[in-house]
Structure 1
């Protein structure tokens, strides 16, 4: 028995070593280490506490656990979004664990003698310092990712630059250094007002929206199911929409970037779905597949939407568009700009659910000007993940029919009076 156990341990050692190498190579791990180092150097210099055990311990802990803490913040925001459906609630959900973390950090450093007590008192005490730091870091991350989504910089480098600048400012501001203290107070309050103000305006627009105009419905639609149809039908009725423009995601920005870096790949085709998997280059701290690993090709998802809309009788109220070049270069921001160009002066409403994808689309729309959100709380049991795993009764009859033909890998798929060539799950009209 001992020999077997020893053999199992020796066989697992290479796997453990590989996991450790992947963790150390992770951009998130490296970002955390750099932020922790910059934080230590800034506080040690500003507060003259180079050898303080509390500061050293906090810096090491931050470097080791910052990625896990970031995941916790993401989960808290997602829970609040799904529970309440308001942007402000989601941001409060993210803010709560960040403030708790910073409060603990400042308390430890304060009572451990790592901080200049007069400096901390000048910004309202360690609880106030933790509050302002949380607001400043949220604002820095928001602006960093805002720039990245517009093609400026890299996501990790932007966040690193934003957090590093924030840490330096916080360190000198809490030390009571003139100008730095005032800048820290202004940035904390200003970024807090920016992040929560944008969310609050979005929530107000969602409740006091006027009727009439065009609805925008974006998402992966992987596949298009009954809740998607219900969202369109309810939004048209409640907002008095002239029509709804539907545009599916082609390749999500997260996946396009990961494919380019060789972090994920298509492993195989299964029941018409492309199955994604991570590679050795993947970031262990990144969630590449928040909505699952199975994806229908975008051309096929477009066909399913068209068929379902036609079958439901919404053909005159819903338009499926596919601006491939615009989406590939500018994402949904480009699609929104194109809709505005084609429909000048028309009021726009953004349709979405309260899952991760829906709230991500909501954020994009909020950043593109005065669009009125229309959201539906996801309380039903319809799940695209369940459908991909074989669940029945969650899609319209025509979508169910096509999925069954894809599962059978038929070379020609027929549905809704149309014929499609099936090339490894990609549906192309005609034979």
Structure 2
């Protein structure tokens, strides 16, 4: 045997050892392909789906875990947001959010938490259940938007399962889908045909169908997404200013008498204009990262903060390391909360200033009306950030700008209240 042959054999041996090591490190069984197995139509029990897709179901069940957020903001512990933001009592005075405004728990608690919320009562309408259960698919098939005006209690009795697999997957093909009619209608108005959406787009749309701002159409209680003019806070505020579908306000503040709006978890709108959204990253890329177990690659259905899955969620794109990434998120959220809390307190002061001005004899009604419009807009700008779940991370630039506007508008409202009263009421 020549020296050349011996050298080649030695190199081959090293290559075999090396690639064997790599195979062991990555999980070594060839990655199994998960074949779609049909589930009976109308089957909403995640446990039934779990018999066919055990890895996905095992991760889904982890959403039952109750734990604080790694950064101290959000999390799945059912605590009152007013513990950290007492201005909530003033800013939402006169409406249910001043009585009960808890942090959301995982999807598996969606129906249970709605059932026990102090914000609902015997008069509550079925529209409130739109994003809490896949049974909304059946309700809409039976009555169209008529279900939204039915008693909520009646629909809750029929909703035996919370947000589950069927909310986002076609039971026969496992293709991603959306079932929220409000989202479908909003996209149609924007000229978007969901049947032509790519899989990556659907990996955001399945989340966006619920994690978005909305209002109830007066009379019918139809759920409407205010996207006709765009996703930015100013664009949605302009939309509301035109009194769409005769929607004037969510409630009148009892102190300032201003016609107020209540923002509802505008995660998608905020994310869509942020760095990750514009780069084509989907919600699922970060919140439902790919995992591997026993050689099988699957999508995690433990939908939670990416900080709990940093390697899987962030490292595929970011090389700075988990410590740097975690610190970056914490810094953004700390700065956002500080400005958000300040804005909320200033909005509360504006309500009080307008109340005092309104009680002043011979108050200038035109200036008072101006103050009410200013506090309405200031609170919208504060609330569109406060109600969003990322504490600034989804779109840091927009968030900071919006909170800056909220602060300035609140101060302008106080100035107008003083001018209206002819004295410094605050």
Question: TM-score w.r.t. structure 1 length?
Answer: 0.24
Higher-helix-fraction structure: 1
Higher-strand-fraction structure: 1
Question: TM-score w.r.t. structure 2 length?
Answer: 0.24
